[in-house]
Structure 1
Amino acid sequence: MAEHHLPGSPPVPVLLRRSARARRISLRVSQLDGRVTLTVPRGVSEAEALDFALSKSDWVRGHLASRQGDVAVTQGAVLPVEGRPRRVICETTRRVRLEEDALILPADRPGLRAQAFLREMARDRLAAASDRHAATLGRGYTRLTLRDTRSRWGSCSSAGALMYSWRLVLAPPEILDYVAAHEVAHLAEMNHSPAFWAQVDRLYGPHDRARAWLRNEGSTLHRYRFESAG
């Protein structure tokens, strides 16, 4: 990918990416890191693509200005757990406690303690959802692993191994359940054919709202920083 800049103060870096699959020029502003990507199909000149980006410069700057900043998980921060905002409170304690509107953390390395607690919570929720959906489908999976992935919320390998982002525990429970149903459905259909989506609907029910939530709100789950907090 080649880097260019939209003029202005300050200039905005734009990554130009050519794609054989693209049908039209498109611009994307990442809510994760503010990266601006200009995707260009075959047969379109670089000059034409840059003219398109320039015509959209106000739109790009508007999106960059509205991008939410990162949140360090430490005293006073507000962190969603299962979709509910919880105020982070650091105390002289050895254990993490999840309350109705608060997450109580030890004052020593609260971010890392929160991350460990949430990963275990995510494992419990995702294992339970995966087991339930796999039983309905009548197929088993081989293992379940958690990662902190940015490009996908889950995956299912041809060997039946499930992988999920542990940050799904920050989302409303129905979103986590949808992702589990989506990945378990791949145990029967390793594709995104109509037959696959029929399996998702069988396991989860109508899924359009959950997919839209992930598309529109999912990136906000990556705002929360645990490793360097506290």
Structure 2
Amino acid sequence: MHSIQFGNAIIPYEVKWSNRRKTIAIAVNSNGVYVTAPTDTPQEKVASVVYQKAEWIRKQLVHFNEMNDSIHYRLFLAGEKLPYLGRQYRLKIEKGKSILYPSFIFQHGVFIAKLPEDTAEEDHRKILLPLYEHWVKVKGEAFVRNRITRFTVKLQQEPSAIKIKDQQQRWGSCTANGQVLINWRILLAPVSIVDYVLAHELAHLKYMDHSKEFWITLGMLIGDYEERKEWLRVNGKTLYI
């Protein structure tokens, strides 16, 4: 772990060396600051770039700290409600001696988790969150593939691939080779917000920047995108469960 001093603040950061990169990249998420640099970059150069970006890094860290303070993390206890596509569904917990491995399904409008009898409640989240995430990714990918056609018909262009990912900083992204990547957490939001993120990333198939032409294209796909964008700005933190 490395660090720089910026004013009265100490900013720690981790460095990953890569022979594929030609420039230094900095990423900030809820877990800290991460720098990826070309293999032959002097450590002093890395520290200098981090210092130059220190004000931006500080603002990002404040943002994530505020978001973490306001997040209501689920404990995955019996009776809690878990979101999917804007609706909340009750979680039912079943435990028994015959249950050897945890499982997680959705049936008749209820999430059902089965756990070994001796599973402590404080371990529920650690065990069930990955199973819930997997369920959302699998179910959500089928939903997205079906939903996306309403926009590709208008756009007359399709992505090379659609993938549901665990993205810490973005709700979605579009790669240079036309892949659309969707943060699985957006599938917890109302369908209208999922549509906004899908349309936003699809518009990048034509314009990779946020130019005037990009926003015109997005407006063609979704007329009220500004309202949906604002909903996500205000309520996005509630999707981190």
| Alignment TM-score, normalising by the size of structure 1 | 0.66
3-state SS of the aligned residue for 1:96?
strand
Which residue matches 2:62?
Answer: 29
Rounded to whole Å, the distance in 1 between the matches of 2:217 and 2:104 is 41
> Per the alignment, do residues 177 and 152 of structure 1 end up closer, same or farther by CA in structure 2, a change over 3 Å counting?
same
Indicate the SS of the match to 1:72: coil
The secondary structure found in structure 2 opposite 1:151 is: coil
Residues of 2 paired with 1:127 and 1:152: CA distance?
19
Residue 148 of structure 1 pairs with residue 166 of structure 2: yes
Corresponding residue for 2:94?
A: 91
Are the counterparts in 2 of residues 170 and 221 from structure 1 also a CA contact under 8 Å? yes
- Name 1:78's counterpart in structure 2: 81
Cα–Cα, structure 1 residues 78 and 33, in superposed 2: closer, same or farther, change >3 Å?
Answer: farther
User: How far apart in 1 are the matches of 2:114 and 2:216?
Assistant: 46
Q: Partners of 2:159 and 2:90 in 1: how far apart?
A: 36
Deviation at 1:201, TM superposition (A): 1.3
The residue type equivalent to 2:203 in the other structure is A
Given that 1:80 and 1:170 are in contact with CA atoms closer than 8 Å, whether structure 2 keeps it comes out as yes
Unaligned stretches of 5+ in structure 1? 6-14, 36-62, 225-230
What is residue 130 of structure 2 aligned with on the other side?
112
Q: Does the 8 A contact of 1:74 with 1:110 survive in 2?
A: no
Give the TM-score normalised by structure 2.
0.64
Q: 3-state SS of the aligned residue for 2:90? A: strand
Q: Are the aligned partners of 2:104 and 2:132 in contact in 1 as well (CA < 8 Å)?
A: no
1:27–1:148: structure 2 CA closer, same or farther, 3 Å change rule?
Answer: closer
* 1:104–1:180 Cα change, 3 Å: same
The CA distance in 1 between the partners of 2:158 and 2:146, in whole Å, is 13
Q: Report the count of equivalent residues.
A: 181
Answer whether contact 2:178 2:205 (CA < 8 A) is retained: yes
